């Protein structure tokens, strides 16, 4: 990792010692470097939460916006500037809770972005309430008698929505996580990487050890083109598979479908403006007088 | 200067009333085109219910040899496609109004005149011809040439099947014959002076003016969620999107739309969203984010009566406070409120320039009345070219929020230059990284708010219409401009002026003193609480002698304003 | 239908002649009557749209709220007043578009409500834009080159979220639709009934005829307890099955899990207040002085 | 009347500073309890960063024989758990402040005193004992009895493992020994007069006061989405939910939370949500719906510095405008802004009564400062009983929005009575059905707005603190009350009063004339633009001679306000 161009000179990182976020940060830097990208080509878009602070610790462009709203911002950036590699990154509460509607519709829209979710199954920054992925029975200061809702399975959800790339990683394994993220970045279209991330402060149930014991990798022979299979594997609950569950053939992604970027059209901010066309359009509102009233 | 065409034979006011789905808009389009083709000026405006079929809607068409561009309650002739309409129109029918309808069972000699619309439609081939028949009837009463109307019909239906065109031509002919008969028999007579010089002018509505303005402002990204009366701008830009390289996306909700607009500007586009009050509520957090990240943003806020769903297809000026104060925390913003179509075009274009130059949210306040009203405009000036986006090529040392005197730090675009571009929702340092340095916090707040100073200097002036020394001033903002203008012109008093604000925040200081000195200040606002008046009063230390407020969902009419002024104004020298 | 106690004296209904909503209205009245309910026991909660106007045409309590927000309102009403039968009803744009996040989380929360969606695959009231369920290629004034997003399949989505009751109906068949709605009402827990509803004005693709030809009923032998099967059937695209896809065993529903309604506890508005308990809580903030400082 | 304990040996101000996770709150709790047990009054308040571990936070503890309840910049002794803290505390250290820390490398004889915290912690069994050791050191310097501190520790850790209790007792002993030594050696000396009469009073913070108030108001439904600094109210009510029959639900977002609250009231509950500025933005559409449907609603809006995410764990009074104007359209609402813990409790309870009685949204404005500050309160009066919900058993003819003089139509609950209860977001008729009758629209708008008349009559009065005839008035609202009170009391001038608003909309009219007559009006607000001042100025036609504004994320201190007053006030008679 030394000498990674995404490294930053940092005095202080606002995460707890031992937090799984450090590993995700490292894996992401690795993945970006492995994908051959330079910091100025990359934009990290995040919401609010502990996970969402990541862009402050990695040398790249960034838009650290509102809680839950990374996906629309990321979608638009990529749409207007296809030369950029855009990564929308946040916590489970942010992406699946507050941002749930954008998650649904970003999957449908299929923009060419990577969506990384630090899934610690808890709201970290606000001090330990249940998140949509918290398990039943998980006790918190709000869910005092334990969580009663069905936990949301992001993978089956994304697959049910016909997502084009669906993967799960575990922060405890940096090299594999980096490899999965790299594949997601290189995939054309929307790519979800849900990353199990131990929160050492607020989640005493889903610990490093718990994840270590619960997870295993899909084997090499797993057919990533088989959506039904992906759905079945993603629905497993006893033990939780890791890896790329599904990767569709390239589908035309959002920016392409806008019809605004044909050939090697420049990004929008470098385009000349066609005054004549506007003139013609305005002229079409002129009255056409009659020859002889 | 525009004057009232009414009552003195100067013009004609036609009202078409019927159910949704009966094609009243077709009549509106045909007659507008026909009269304009002769050189008349035409204003048309609509009031309609929130439904797709049925209900009771109406369209006003004013025809005049001189420019006409305001809503009026005066009706010379009204044609009913559906008799239910009559109860709703009561207040707009004068004793001298001719009312035409099918089976009204009008007493002999009255101004209520039965016409066999349904029967004629059967003759023409079916009930869907009723609109073209009505156009024919009206054209016949006016004694227009058959060929003129036929030309208009051919143009209007061009591209449709020949049978459709022929059917409509025949329908128009049937109507025309009846119209001529009514006119010749003396049962209905309409006086219309010879045409004016409305040749080759543009004819469009507010939706079109805003949309064209967006294009003229360089808009190349639109994301919105449908909501009346703002949706027209979205569909206009969608229709012309590919031609102009505009990315148009229907978002899953308004929150997404607003955040996409921020992403678009950040990525180097000129983005806009269009919505109404309830949708704007949902966008306010993103507006606040625009303020904090200093990411430009243009929001078209098309007002309609609230609260909540309210009257979704009607008009109001009830969201001034929301636009000014929505979104938590303190940061600069700009509120523009076009008064007519020229301003709608120009200020929409300017919204993009201001947002770009000052890195602030710009909110453009229109309303259903302005958006749905058509009239004639001499020209919409073309920009020479769209100025390049106010962004810099970044250097390795680039710091997005570098502190400086103006408060406007050079904005970079990711990928252009050697620098990295950060944007942060938290309080941040010069590079956009989270800070808890509380002194820096203060400097950053001051930096952001400092932009207001420059913005106020550049504010679009309020227009003073009338004698410099007028001691009575009618103050209005946004879409009431032309109504106020016509109303005051009709008073023929030399001591009354109109003061119209097309920028409502920050306030343009120009007219302050004159307004303070006025002896009688009258506020005109389309809401129940006089929101802008209260704000202006506080800022300029003035109070109101009278307030003309309206909030039933309809726009003020020229006559209402005039009646209000008659009551409010001190008796004085008449011209 | 004559004499149904949910009938209303109406001058005018704001729907287009021939609209599928009339059939849904009739089926719903039928279902409520068949379920043996009286108008005063029923609350209809809707958002905004053509579908959402339904509560104005049926004699019952109603809360016609904001676009997209019927589910939270309905959930809360049922939670505070378990004696009521609560039906959240709106259009596809309302429930799956603007309200998508509430849909996700209502399913997870599993309140004892029925969620009826008039799925006409278009935004009716706002004049014909694409909805989340519009098919690819569907042309509208906004989607001028046709819809490019993946249509959202509400059934697979709900099933992926572990919904407890999932059904689909077609407005063209009033008796069956009524029967399906009745089952949903009688199911304990969250019940989704997505109803194909032809919009005769703005959807010229998914017409009565189109639905008629595309749909068929799940056969009587269909095992409504088998979630995997339900998922597979719900994912079918060539022809679209109708009926109850899935109906879980009773699970404790949201209101029960609050712990506030044990036994025959009265609705909240009729409860006495326990001042002594508040007093004790306040007293716990008093200082305990030391015997001998 | 409270006076300043500072500088005159009247009290003690301790500052504890360290990283998040070092347990500063434990020291706060132990010392507060110990001093209170002796009869002292204790104020404690916190300022902290938005992070879970690390960073640099501090807690102020003021101990006094007389009531003390305001933030101060004065520090008698400061103990550093982490040396980074010192740079952040600079402005709060006076020349006479003792600073204790580990390895400060303090020059001999200075007031910077090295204490081996880490070493002592090792001795006690690990670094997590550092907090209890610090408590011991401070108690030792004060020369408190060991047994008193031991008692407090036993209570605080009761329920924990015996080893934990013993470990902490030992740690306290180690600290105490050092503290005694420092004191006896004369290196550190703190003057504290004999204890006061603070026996058996309540000690709590704003979060607890608001939460208890909610229970006292009959709250039985809470739905919220976590957001600092509002989350504490949610967790408090969750903790006690089952005991009080309160349904507590964490919503998926703020939009859901707010709409659930409306559903809850509609269904017969008393619902509340709790949020901060950004979350409130998202709720504004539902607030507008509350206005339209006349469904009661209580929103606790806990302010923090914006815009956007801003400084999430800090304090500001920046959302007055948002609370007043957020949500589109026009409808009545009530804004309450408690000034102290008694008011936080009482006004939260009143929120439910007002919402219920007037069928309007009630917004309770607090902030991080108020919520996180602890002090002593003589009592929180118990309601005799919660009045029954203001609903009627409906008859068959029941019409939810029946028009009447007050504008308040009897509210029904579905299922109770023979009637049907309708609620509608559109403009509606008496039964709640959609209407496009535009005259009815006007009557309905008027009906809703009419409620403001009664609401204004019932407004909670502004408190005038000081001589009736004072010609100089310091005007404030919300959480600055006690700070203003102490600052002005310390001036010892007879020509200065404080005017504090606990209801900020509709305005209580009581003090209007006195304020208008004042010669010097000084505004005190925790924001950058003086929002409430501008509003009050507009409504009461007054201007401000001076404005004391602060927006760096910290609350005003007594000393700052006093310094501001010193500059602002005309030279005059001193007592
Ligand atoms: C609109 C809004 N609502 C609530 C919050 C408060 N908030 C900040 S982070 C967060 C949740 C964090 O959880 P998650 O997204 O899982 O991130 P983590 O901290 O666990 O990494 C919340 C609720 C906010 N900032 N904005
Ligand atoms: C916050 C908000 N955004 C947008 C709208 C405008 N709006 C009203 S109905 C509707 C969509 C209707 O579509 P659907 O829910 O499918 O109902 P349908 O009319 O097709 O029955 C929209 C976008 C609104 N009322 N509120
Ligand atoms: S609170 Fe949890 S998620 Fe946040 S930094 Fe600490 S360990 Fe990580
Ligand atoms: S627009 Fe479509 S959905 Fe709406 S009433 Fe007409 S046919 Fe029905
Ligand atoms: Mg999390
Ligand atoms: Mg629909």
C98 touches chain B (CB under 8 A): yes
Q: Distance from B288 to chain D by nearest Cα, in Å?
A: 5
- Band of the pLDDT at D573, cuts 50, 70, 90? low
pLDDT band at A264 (very low <50, low <70, confident <90, very high): confident
User: Which chain A residue is nearest to residue B290, measuring alpha carbons?
Assistant: A65
Of all ligands present, the nearest one to the C-alpha of B256 is 2
Of ligand 4's listed atoms, the one at least distance from the Cα of C51 is 3
What is the distance between the alpha carbons of residues B104 and B88, in angstroms, rounded to a whole number? 15
Cβ separation of C76 and D422 shorter than 8 Å?
no
Contact residues, chain A, for C245 at CB < 8 Å: none
Q: Do D252 and A16 touch (CB under 8 A)?
A: no
CA D18 to centroid of ligand 5, rounded, Å: 25
Residue C258's pLDDT is what?
81
The pLDDT, as a whole number, for residue A289 is 62
Q: Is the predicted pLDDT of residue C290 greater than 80, yes or no?
A: no
Centroid of ligand 1 to alpha carbon of A51 (angstroms): 9
Cα B197 to Cα B64: distance, rounded to the nearest angstrom: 10
Rounded to the nearest angstrom, the distance between the alpha carbon of A180 and the centre of ligand 1 is 26
Contacts of D535-538 spanning 24+ positions with Cβ under 8 A: D535/B538, D535/D320, D535/D321, D535/D324, D535/D504, D535/D505, D536/D475, D536/D501, D536/D507, D537/B538, D538/B534, D538/B535, D538/B537, D538/B538
Residue A58: partners with Cβ closer than 8 Å, 6 or more residues away: A6, A7, A8, A25, A28, A29, A44
Q: Is C115 in the pocket of ligand 4 (CB under 6 A)?
A: no
Across chain C, mean pLDDT equals 94
Contact C142 B241 (CB under 8 A): no
Interface partners of chain D (CB pairs < 8 Å, 3 or more) are: A, B, C
**D463-568: which CATH architecture?**
3-Layer(aba) Sandwich (3.40)
Residue C275 lies in a domain: no
Does the structure show a pLDDT above 90 at C273? no
Q: How far apart are CA D225 and CA D255, in angstroms?
A: 9
> Which chain A residues are within 8 Å of B426, Cβ to Cβ?
64
Q: Which of A40, A61, A101 sits opposite B253 (nearest CB)?
A: A101
Give Cα A235 to chain centroid, integer Å: 20
Tens digit of pLDDT for each residue in B185-240?
A: 999 988 899 999 998 899 999 999 999 999 999 999 999 999 999 999 999 999 99
User: For chain C, how many residues are written?
Assistant: 293
- Which of A102, A143, A148 is most worth mutating to test chain C (most C CB atoms within 10 A of its CB)? A148
Structure tokens given for B196: 């004016």
CA dihedral B210, B215, B219, B221 (to 10 degrees): 90
Rounded Cα distance between D424 and D427, Å, is 7
How many angstroms is it from B43 CA to the middle of ligand 2?
30
Query: Is pLDDT above 90 for C236?
Result: yes
* Per-residue model confidence (pLDDT) at position D572: 64
pLDDT at position B107 over 80 = no
Total count of domains within chain A: 1
Q: How wide is the angle at C-alpha D24 spanned by C-alphas D111 and D179, nearest 5°?
A: 40
Centroid of ligand 1 to alpha carbon of A203 (angstroms) = 15
State whether the beta carbon of C26 lies less than 6 angstroms from ligand 2: no
CB B299 within 8 A of CB B364: yes
Which residues are found with C-beta within 5 Å of the ion, ligand 6? C 91-93, 120, 124
pLDDT tens digit string along C35-61? 999 999 999 999 999 999 999 999 999
Chain D contact set for A100 (CB, 8 A): 252-253
Q: C67 CA to middle of ligand 2, Å?
A: 6
> Domain-by-domain residue ranges, chain B?
12-184, 204-377, 391-458, 463-568
Ligand 3 centre and the CA of A123: distance in Å? 9
Q: Which residue has the tokens 């005259």?
A: D439
CB pairs under 8 A between C and D: 225
Residues with CB under 6 A from ligand 1: A 48-51, 67, 90-94, 98, 118, 120, 122-126, 131; D 225-227, 254, 278-279, 282, 309
Nearest-Cα distance to chain D for B526, in Å, is: 12
In a domain, residue C15? The reply is no
Q: In terms of CA atoms, which chain D residue is nearest residue C64?
A: D424
pLDDT given for residue A230 in this prediction = 97
- Residue D535 pLDDT: 96
Residues of C in contact with B230 (CB under 8 A): none
Which one of B212, B415, B426 has the shortest CB-CB distance to A84?
Answer: B415
For ligand 3, the distance from its centroid to the CA atom of residue A201, given in whole angstroms, is 6
Chain C residue numbers with beta carbons less than 8 Å from the beta carbon of D241 are: 258-260
* Closest chain C residue to A98, measured at CA: C101
Residue D41: how many other CB atoms lie within 10 Å: 25
User: Domain span at residue A64?
Assistant: 20-264
pLDDT digits (tens, 9 = 90+) for B525-564: 999 999 999 999 999 999 999 999 999 999 999 999 999 9
What are the structure tokens assigned to D392, written together?
């009627």
Q: Any idea which ligand is nearest the CA of B286?
A: 1
Quick check: is C5 in a domain?
A: no
Asked if C111 and C253 touch (Cβ cutoff 8 Å), the reply is yes
pLDDT tens by residue, D126-142: 999 999 999 999 999 99
Task: List the structure tokens of C78.
Answer: 């049922």
Give one DSSP letter per residue of A213-242, joined into a string: HHEEEPPTT--TT-HHHHHHHHT--SSEEE
Average pLDDT in the B421-443 region?
97
Residue A292 has pLDDT above 60, yes or no: no
Preferred mutation among C104, C106, C121, C151 to probe A, highest tally of A CBs within 10 A: C104
Average pLDDT taken over every residue of chain B: 94
Residue A61 in 3-state DSSP? strand
Mean model confidence pLDDT for chain D: 94
Comparing CB atoms, the residue among C40, C61, C258 nearest residue D422 is C61
- Topology, domain B204-377: Rossmann fold (3.40.50)
Residues of C in contact with A151 (CB under 8 A): 108
Q: How does pLDDT run across C82-112, given as a tens digit for each residue?
A: 999 999 999 999 999 999 999 999 999 999 9
Cα B123 to the chain's mean position, in Å? 39
Non-local (6+) Cβ contacts of C220 within 8 A are none
Q: What's D11's DSSP letter?
A: -
| Ligand 1 nearest-atom number relative to CA A66 | 26
Is C108 an 8 Å CB contact of chain A?
yes
Q: Coil, strand, or helix at residue B382?
A: coil
What letters, b where the CB count within 10 A reaches 16 and e where it falls short, cover B385-415?
ebeebebeebeeebbbbeeeeebbbebbbbb
Residue C137: closest C-alpha in chain A: A257
- CATH architecture assignment, domain D12-184: 3-Layer(aba) Sandwich (3.40)
Q: Is C13 touching ligand 4 by the criterion CB < 6 Å?
A: no
Q: What is the pLDDT of residue B396?
A: 96
- Note whether B560 and B551 are within 8 A (CB): no
The pLDDT of residue B106 is above 80: no
> Residue A131 domain-assigned?
yes
Mutation target among C255, C282, C288 for the D interface, most CBs of D within 10 A? C282
Chain A 139-198, residues with CB within 8 Å of chain B CB atoms: none
Per-residue pLDDT tens over the stretch D32-43: 999 999 999 999
CB contact under 8 A, A108 and C150: yes
Contact B281 D280 (CB under 8 A): no
CATH number at residue A111: 3.40.50.970
Most A-contacting residue of B43, B156, B223, B256 (CB-CB within 10 A), to test interface: B256
* Neighbour tally for B539: CB within 10 Å: 16
Is B463-568 in the same CATH topology as B204-377? yes
pTM of the model: 0.97
Residue C221 tokens, joined: 């032998």
CA nearest to D387 within chain C: C273
Beta bridge pairs of residue A242 = A217
Q: How far is CA C51 from CA A92, B471, C116, in A?
A: 33, 54, 10
Query: Least CB-CB distance to C64: which of D221, D248, D424?
Result: D424
Q: Is the CB of A231 under 6 A from ligand 3?
A: no
User: Is the distance from the beta carbon of residue C201 to the nearest atom of ligand 2 less than 6 Å?
Assistant: no
Angle at CA of residue B138, ends B137 and B139, nearest 5° = 95
């Amino acid at each position: 990792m030394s000498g990674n161009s995404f490294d930053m000179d940092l005095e202080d990182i606002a995460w707890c010692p031992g937090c799984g976020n450090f590993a995700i940060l490292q894996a992401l830097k690795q993945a970006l470097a492995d994908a051959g990208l330079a910091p100025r080509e990359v934009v990290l878009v995040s919401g609010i939460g502990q996970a969402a602070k990541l862009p402050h610790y990695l040398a790249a462009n960034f838009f650290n916006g509102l809680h839950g709203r990374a996906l629309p911002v990321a979608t638009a950036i990529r749409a207007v500037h296809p030369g950029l590699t855009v990564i929308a990154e946040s916590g489970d509460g942010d992406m699946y809770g507050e941002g749930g509607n954008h998650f649904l519709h970003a999957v449908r829209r299929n923009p060419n972005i990577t969506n990384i979710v630090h899934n610690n199954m808890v709201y970290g920054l606000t001090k330990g309430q249940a998140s949509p992925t918290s398990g039943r029975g998980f006790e918190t200061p709000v869910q005092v008698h334990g969580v009663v809702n069905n936990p949301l399975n992001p993978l089956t959800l994304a697959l049910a929505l016909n997502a084009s790339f669906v993967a799960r990683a575990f922060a405890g394994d940096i090299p594999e996580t980096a490899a999965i993220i790299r594949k997601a970045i290189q995939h054309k279209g929307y790519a979800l990487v849900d990353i199990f991330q131990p929160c050492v402060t607020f989640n005493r149930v889903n610990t490093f050890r718990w994840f270590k014991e619960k997870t295993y990798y899909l084997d090499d022979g797993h057919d990533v083109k088989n959506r039904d299979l992906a759905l079945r594997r993603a629905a497993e609950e006893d033990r939780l598979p890791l890896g790329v569950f599904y990767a569709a053939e390239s589908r035309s992604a959002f920016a392409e479908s806008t019809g605004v970027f044909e050939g090697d059209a420049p990004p929008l901010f470098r385009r000349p403006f066609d005054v004549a066309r506007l003139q013609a359009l305005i002229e079409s509102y002129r009255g056409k007088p009659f020859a002889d009233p | 200067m525009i004057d009232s065409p009414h009552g003195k034979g100067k013009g004609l006011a036609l009202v078409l009333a019927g159910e949704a789905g009966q094609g009243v808009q077709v009549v509106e389009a045909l007659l507008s085109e026909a009269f304009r083709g002769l050189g008349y000026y035409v204003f048309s405006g609509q009031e309609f219910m929130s439904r797709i079929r049925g209900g009771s809607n109406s369209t006003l068409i004013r025809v005049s040899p001189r420019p006409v561009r305001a809503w009026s309650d005066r009706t010379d002739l009204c044609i009913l496609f559906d008799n239910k309409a009559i109860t709703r129109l009561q207040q707009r029918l004068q004793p001298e109004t001719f009312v035409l309808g099918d089976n009204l069972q009008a007493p002999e000699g009255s101004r209520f005149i039965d016409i066999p619309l349904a029967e004629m439609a059967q003759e023409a081939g079916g009930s869907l011809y009723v609109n073209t028949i009505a156009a024919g009837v009206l054209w016949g009463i006016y004694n227009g040439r058959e060929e003129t109307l036929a030309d208009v019909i051919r143009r209007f239906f061009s591209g449709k099947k020949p049978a459709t065109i022929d059917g409509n031509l025949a329908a128009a002919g049937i109507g025309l014959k009846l119209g001529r008969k009514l006119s010749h028999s003396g049962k209905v007579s309409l006086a219309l002076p010879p045409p004016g010089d409305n040749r080759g002018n543009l004819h469009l509505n507010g939706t079109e003016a805003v949309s064209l303005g967006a294009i003229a402002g360089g808009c190349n990204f639109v994301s919105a969620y449908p909501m009346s009366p703002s949706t027209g701008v979205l569909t206009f830009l969608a229709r012309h999107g590919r031609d102009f390289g505009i990315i148009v996306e229907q978002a899953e909700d308004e929150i997404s739309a607003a955040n996409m607009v921020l992403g678009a500007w950040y990525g180097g586009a000129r983005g806009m969203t269009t919505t109404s009050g309830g949708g704007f509520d949902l966008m306010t957090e993103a507006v606040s984010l625009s303020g904090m990240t200093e990411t430009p943003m243009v929001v078209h806020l098309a007002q309609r009566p609230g609260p909540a769903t309210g009257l979704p297809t009607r008009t109001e000026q009830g969201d001034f406070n929301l636009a000014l104060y929505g979104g938590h925390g303190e940061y600069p913003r700009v509120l523009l409120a076009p008064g007519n179509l020229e301003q709608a075009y120009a200020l929409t274009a300017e919204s993009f320039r201001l947002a770009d130059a000052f890195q602030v949210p710009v909110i453009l306040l229109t309303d259903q009345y302005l958006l749905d009203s058509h009239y004639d405009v001499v020209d919409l000036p073309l920009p020479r070219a769209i100025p390049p986006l106010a962004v810099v090529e970044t250097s390795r040392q680039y710091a997005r929020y570098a502190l400086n005197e103006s408060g406007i730090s050079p904005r970079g675009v990711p990928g252009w230059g050697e620098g990295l571009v950060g944007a942060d929702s938290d309080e941040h340092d010069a590079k956009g990284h989270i800070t808890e340095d509380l002194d820096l916090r203060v400097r950053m707040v001051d930096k952001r708010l400092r932009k207001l100073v420059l913005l106020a200097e550049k504010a679009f002036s309020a227009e003073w219409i009338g004698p410099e020394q007028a001691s009575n001033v009618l103050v209005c903002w946004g879409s009431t401009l032309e109504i106020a203008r016509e109303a005051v012109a009709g008073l023929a008093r030399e001591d009354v002026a109109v003061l119209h604000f097309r920028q409502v925040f920050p306030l343009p200081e120009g007219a302050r003193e004159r307004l303070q000195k006025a002896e009688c200040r009258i506020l005109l606002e389309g809401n129940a609480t006089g929101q802008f008046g209260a704000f202006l009063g506080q800022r300029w230390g003035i109070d109101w002698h009278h307030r003309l407020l309206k909030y039933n969902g309809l726009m003020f009419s020229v006559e209402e304003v005039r009646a209000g002024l008659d009551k409010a104004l001190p008796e004085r020298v008449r011209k």
